[in-house]
Amino acid sequence: MAWFETNGRRLPWRTTRDPYAILVSEVMLQQTQVERVVPRWRRWLERWPTIDSLAAASPADVIVEWQGLGYNRRAVNLHRAARFVAEHGWPDDFTELPGVGPYTAAAIGNFAFGRDVLPVDVNIRRIQERTGATFDASCAQALFDLGATVCLARIPRCDACPLAGACPSRGSRYEPLRKQSRFEGSFRQRRANALRAVAAGEQPQDGDALVSLARDGLVELRDGVAALPA
């Protein structure tokens, strides 16, 4: 924790306990780099500052605002979660919200409601496995940053690590993890291109991509014409 006081990243969502703002940050961060998320998170909250304001938005507006963050289904789930909370309030079990799994539920519980639960992401799990140590919920943000900047996946910076003195893995090197399949030329890219075209009022000719987007609730097909959800 002393290391974190000096070396922690100053991220805007760490200054709030608003569960909605934290939910937005966690959903954006699921598969997007922190540097890209920071300005988009701020812009999102400027446009929809409360969960009720997001719930009142149209799915089409939400999808358009999400463009560029990737994995657009996250936007649809976030919008559905907002509508759930607007109608029913925050559930005790956050996994009842669309798109919220155990990790995101733990993050909301910890950072917004002060629950004694450690949200274990890939960074925290890596530190746990390498050190064999047990950490309580108060260490979550420090562990995030330690894993992101020091206890790296392949070549950890053990000389800069506050846990190195007692770490049994100190000095180890690791094989590269299996990389995600290339985006260029992939079906994911075809889906992204098709969605971008529909958002611009065009009619893409990639039928398979449109069917896939419709299945995820990202577009609607009406008499063979694709449109964003009303």
For the chain, give the number of residues: 230
Q: Tell me the two tokens of residue 218.
A: 């990202």
Q: Is-catalytic flag, 26?
A: yes
Active-site hit among 5, 26, 184, 220 = 26
Q: What's the rounded Cα separation, in Å, for the pair 92 and 110? A: 13
Q: What's the rounded Cα separation, in Å, for the pair 152 and 109? A: 26
Contacts of 72 (CB under 8 A, 6+ apart): 63, 66, 191, 192, 195, 216, 218
Per-residue DSSP letter, 50? S
Residue 47 Cα distances to 41, 44, 75, 86, 116, angstroms: 10, 5, 14, 17, 32
Annotated catalytic residues are 26
